[in-house]
Amino acid sequence: MFWDRVIETLERAALARLQLERLQTTAARVAARVPFYQRQLAARHVTPDHIRSLDDLRRLPFTTNADLRANYPEGLLAVDRRDVARLHTSSGTTGKPKALFFSRRDLDAAAELVARCFVMTGATADDVLQNMMTYGLFTGALMLHYGAEKVGLMVIPAGPGNSDRQLMLMQDFGTTIIHVTPSYALYFADLLEKRGLRPCRDLTLRKAYVGAEPYTEETRHKIEQGLGVDVYNCYGLSEMNGPGVAFECGQKHGLHVWEDNFLLEIIDPETSEPVSDGQPGELVLTTLNREAMPLLRYRTRDITALIPEPCPCGRTHRRIQRITGRADDMLIVRGVNVYPQQIERVLMGIPAVGRNYLITLDGLDDMSVQVELAESGFDGQVEHLVNLQNQIIERLRAETLVKPKVELVPPGALPVSEGKAKRVVDRRRL
């Protein structure tokens, strides 16, 4: 099923023509209205007239996270204030947030993309969406909300947290789809197990749209088992509309990027040169259909790879692999590069391991990992615990080349945040 069959299956050559036309419009818009881009373009001796083919994209400047912060609050605004319909922000670790502006038309375009995602995954007006993302300045909940309404689903704007109320809403209103972070999905699956509830028997859930944080295929399986749902990976970032920038189809193999709205590049984060198709690199996105705040070649810092093969679902918009982490996520432990995702992949592949973990780095450059046990992971025999602990240490060492300390803790012992999960505590930088 398609929301917009024509555009979703547009032949590649026609899609490229549309992209070029929109790139030219976007370049002209920022050159006329945004002093930051006027300076950047002048420094490169580029005018919008130089954009004659999609390859000319490489003449345009990159935009970084730092540029958004430096131009806070309104430096990148490309419309009059009276034409702004909504503000979102995206917070970083320190200082001022990034301000993201949307016109009425931008909001409608974002909702259209989300509507495509719903229909692509088989959702219909018969579905009930419980939106367990945070409502507010974060794009996560609101951007998905309006797309769901367009398709005609009934939306329960539950927000995150208060798991007992979530459960009550699910049971009383027959929720079929949830939109949730991977960490909260795992936490919720734990809660069901503790209450002795079996999702297939006691709930009507069918699908979960899971995103806003990186997670592994092993975590997807854990969520699918724990909640009795099909998990679809949902990727996005506030700078590019929030959720719905890229989404899995029924194949559940890679995420279609809506290429009529975003021009995608994958580059080597060190050299900024393009990598060859299928190779991992940093995702760079250019908005093609934004009025209020168009962005050229935005460095997402997210690491992924292009899937060059066409998708059996019939959509022509190319797919990217699930995000394996952010370029800034890399930890250097005793000189070795370690990504938190490597640790998650190992842990979530071990059945006796539960649903939460926390990595701590301390002053001596030691890495320790606290690992929750599964509800059924401990049979009371201490030697089984010791064996499990040794098995985890060994597998983590083999995966990361760093031998961590591992502490097994009871289910539910580690903190759960309502927003994005915090998986790493780095005391070395405190």
What is the contact surface with ligand DLL in residues (CB under 6 A)?
90, 133, 139-140, 211-214, 233-238, 242-243, 300, 302, 323, 326
Distance CA 347, CA 324 (A): 15
For ligand DLL, the closer of residues 250 and 325 by Cβ is 325
Q: For residue 178, give the nearest of 139, 219, 137, 223 by alpha carbon.
A: 223
For ligand DLL, the closer of residues 140 and 354 by Cβ is 140
Distance CA 336, CA 39 (A): 40
For ligand DLL, the closer of residues 37 and 138 by Cβ is 138
Strands, E, within 227-350: which ranges?
A: 230-237, 242-248, 255-257, 262-267, 280-287, 298-307, 319-320, 325-326, 331-333, 336-338
For ligand DLL, the closer of residues 326 and 428 by Cβ is 326
Q: How far is the CB of 238 from ligand DLL (least distance, A)?
A: 3
What contacts 150, CB < 8 A, 6 or more positions away? 111, 112, 114, 115
Q: How far is the CB of 239 from ligand DLL (least distance, A)?
A: 7
Residue nearest to ligand DLL (CB): 211
Q: How far is the CB of 374 from ligand DLL (least distance, A)?
A: 24
Q: How far is the CB of 283 from ligand DLL (least distance, A)?
A: 8
Q: For residue 408, give the nearest of 381, 370, 375 by alpha carbon.
A: 370
Q: How far is the CB of 328 from ligand DLL (least distance, A)?
A: 9
Q: How far is the CB of 26 from ligand DLL (least distance, A)?
A: 20
Q: How far is the CB of 225 from ligand DLL (least distance, A)?
A: 19
For ligand DLL, the closer of residues 72 and 378 by Cβ is 72
CA distances from 251 to 74, 121, 122, 267, 316 (A): 41, 9, 12, 26, 14
CA distances from 219 to 222, 249, 295 (A): 5, 18, 32
Q: For residue 258, give the nearest of 241, 245, 242, 277 by alpha carbon.
A: 245
Contact 223, 229 (CB under 8 A): yes
For ligand DLL, the closer of residues 199 and 243 by Cβ is 243
For ligand DLL, the closer of residues 236 and 281 by Cβ is 236
CA distances from 319 to 75, 123, 171, 250, 305 (A): 33, 20, 35, 13, 9
